[in-house]
């Protein structure tokens, strides 16, 4: 078994791309089957928490930042949410990054 207690996978999205992060999470879970994997989804805000996917497996963090079509919400959202992530190692993915094979935890451990 791998020691992944100090590792968190973070997916960054925004309020208009929840459907995309849902798809990314679907493939993440397909190729990463460990029970104790820590996952967060960070967004500028969420319009409806009750519809967020995989709530039993994912921590949702909101920066409470207004969306900007020019992308300026990105850095402010990260500044407000990343302090809530306590693990020392973070892998950050955009909501359009998809897993297509099993994660090589042996390589990560090295």
Domain ranges of the chain: 7-109
Reduce the DSSP state of residue 8 to 3 states and report it: strand
DSSP element (H, E) containing 7: strand 7-12
Reduce the DSSP state of residue 10 to 3 states and report it: strand
Reduce the DSSP state of residue 38 to 3 states and report it: strand
Q: Show Cβ contacts of residue 16 under 8 Å, excluding neighbours closer than 6 positions.
A: 67
pTM: 0.83
Q: What are phi and psi of 28, to 5 degrees?
A: -60, -50
What's the CATH architecture for 7-109?
Alpha-Beta Complex (3.90)
Q: Can you give the pLDDT of all 110 residues of the chain as single tens digits?
A: 556 788 899 999 989 888 889 999 988 888 887 778 899 999 999 988 888 999 999 999 999 999 988 888 889 999 999 999 999 999 888 877 666 666 665 665 55
């Amino acid at each position: 078994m791998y020691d992944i207690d100090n590792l968190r996978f973070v997916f960054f999205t925004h309020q208009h791309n929840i459907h995309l992060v849902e798809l990314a999470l679907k493939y993440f879970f397909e190729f990463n089957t460990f029970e104790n994997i820590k996952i967060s989804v960070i967004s500028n805000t969420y319009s409806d928490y009750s519809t967020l996917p995989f709530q039993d497996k994912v921590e949702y963090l909101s920066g409470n930042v207004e969306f900007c079509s020019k992308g300026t919400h990105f850095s402010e959202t990260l500044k407000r949410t990343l302090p809530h992530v306590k693990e020392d190692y973070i892998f950050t993915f955009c909501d359009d990054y998809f897993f297509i094979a099993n994660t090589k935890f042996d390589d990560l451990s090295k």
